[in-house]
Amino acid sequence: MTALRDGPASATRKGRPPADLGHINWPEQDNRIPREVYLDEALYAVEMDRLFAGPYWVLVGHEAEIPDRGDYKTTHVGSVPLIIVRDMDGELHALVNSCAHRGTALVHDNRGNLADRKCFTCIYHNWRYDLGGKLIAAALKEDFPVDFSRDQYGLPAARLDSYRGALFVSLSDDAPPLLEYLGETAEGLDLALGDGDLIYLGSQKVMFECNWKIAAENIYDGYHTVSLHKAFQMLQVRAAGGSQNLPDHNSYGHVWNEYRTGPAQRADFLRDTSILALKSKDEPSNRIVNIFPIGIVSDQIDTLSLRFAIPRGVAATEMQFAVFARRGDSDELVRHRVRQGSNLFGPEGFISLEDQTALSRVHDGAPGRGDNVVLKGTLARFPPYRILDEAGIRHFYAAYRRAVGL
């Protein structure tokens, strides 16, 4: 992990022997996924090293979340804890959240501001770092080795770049430039994020009781939207047309979903139907952009959100839902985005709540061995696919298998 530089700490170890994944029996058919990949501890460790710490970019936030000097948020890329911070000069950094001395986590809050203190302080031995990660003080260093130098003990920094304000981190120097990595999928981000001048409204997070790949598959699976989401059925909301575009299906496996929705045909069972109103657009266009491996930008009805997925072991995935408004939105529209983002598409909204239950049951069924099978839309070998297809899952796993060496 050479991108983590300016410090002795590293989330990987050079010289580690390559993992033997010969016990993973992947079928020849590209529409079949062996269920063991959701449960295998050795494979999970390989994913952390080769994928999340490999030559890929992971969506970690938006500049609107940390607009002021001293603002920070904490997150993870794979298993590596990070602080995304804006220093006192306004520059952004992605720093490993681990003291270079004995590895103590420096920050435990989800987010905050350090403009008054202008530093991170380790509670264990009172080492202090400026907001760019440089060690500025080490307590009681009189008996340290004579060659001790503060310059050798800065916080390791990951690569950080942005597109339309969306923040991406890579832990590898071998990752291509971000715009090259995004490829044609950047067009989907252009439409979803606009000029990127957003206002952060708040976040919610939930723990999915499933392997992170099961959560990733769900974005490529349009089939479940008509079978699982009873709210769409009860409201008689119809998706008109729509497609799944995977312009980079031979490389990174991003997906960009586009569809239109008609108004709810029936909402008499709701006490307040305003939650379904479309107030920010002239036409009911919607898009979901998934950046491999599992970063989600969603512009659906009036909800503009970024979702950040953090693997928490083989059987758990933390999903964070951050909701935004556009600069210039009226106060009324901002309130509407908050209500809709929470009650419709949030983790306990009457759309997304069903996903959590279904995905946990997919994981519960994985010990049944055998293969999961992708069928709907697979007659088409290459994208675009219909919005109701699940064929795009094949392309996610093509990119995944290249990444982990299967």
Question: What pLDDT is recorded for position 8?
Answer: 35
Question: What pLDDT is recorded for position 382?
Answer: 78
Amino acid 109 reads D
pLDDT at 393 over 50: yes
User: pLDDT tens digits, residue range 306-345?
Assistant: 999 999 999 999 999 999 999 999 999 999 999 999 988 8
Name the residue ranges covered by the structural domains of the chain.
58-161, 185-404
Q: How far apart are CA 202 and CA 182, in angstroms?
A: 26
DSSP for 161-218, written as a single string:
EEETTEEEEES-TTSPPHHHHHGGGHHHHHHHHTTS-EEEEEEEEEEESS-HHHHHHH
Q: How far apart are CA 8 and CA 166, in angstroms?
A: 29
Classified as helix, coil or strand, 104 is: coil
User: pLDDT tens digits, residue range 227-266?
Assistant: 777 766 666 566 656 788 877 767 788 988 888 876 666 6
Domain 58-161 grouped into CATH 1.20.810.10: no
User: pLDDT tens digits, residue range 45-99?
Assistant: 999 999 999 999 999 999 999 999 999 999 999 999 999 999 999 999 999 999 9
Q: How far apart are CA 91 and CA 106, in angstroms?
A: 20
Question: What pLDDT is recorded for position 387?
Answer: 82
Question: What pLDDT is recorded for position 352?
Answer: 80
Question: What pLDDT is recorded for position 273?
Answer: 77
% of the chain with per-residue pLDDT over 70: 90
Nearest to 278 by CA among 260, 295, 263, 259: 263
Q: Which residue has the higher pLDDT, 371 or 261?
A: 371
Q: What are phi and psi of 289, to 5 degrees?
A: -115, 120
Identical fold at 58-161 and 185-404? no
pTM for the full predicted model: 0.92
End-to-end alpha carbon distance in the chain? 21
* Three state DSSP letters for 307-351: EEEEECCCCCEEEEEEEEEECCCCHHHHHHHHHHHHHCCCCCCCC
Question: What pLDDT is recorded for position 259?
Answer: 83
Q: Which residue has the higher pLDDT, 22 or 273?
A: 22
Question: What pLDDT is recorded for position 235?
Answer: 63
> Containing H/E element for 42?
helix 41-46
Q: How far apart are CA 205 and CA 156, in angstroms?
A: 27
For the domain made up of 185-404, the CATH class stated in words is alpha beta
Question: What pLDDT is recorded for position 76?
Answer: 97
Average pLDDT over residues 22-34: 92
% of the chain with per-residue pLDDT over 90: 67
Q: What are phi and psi of 151, to 5 degrees?
A: -65, -20
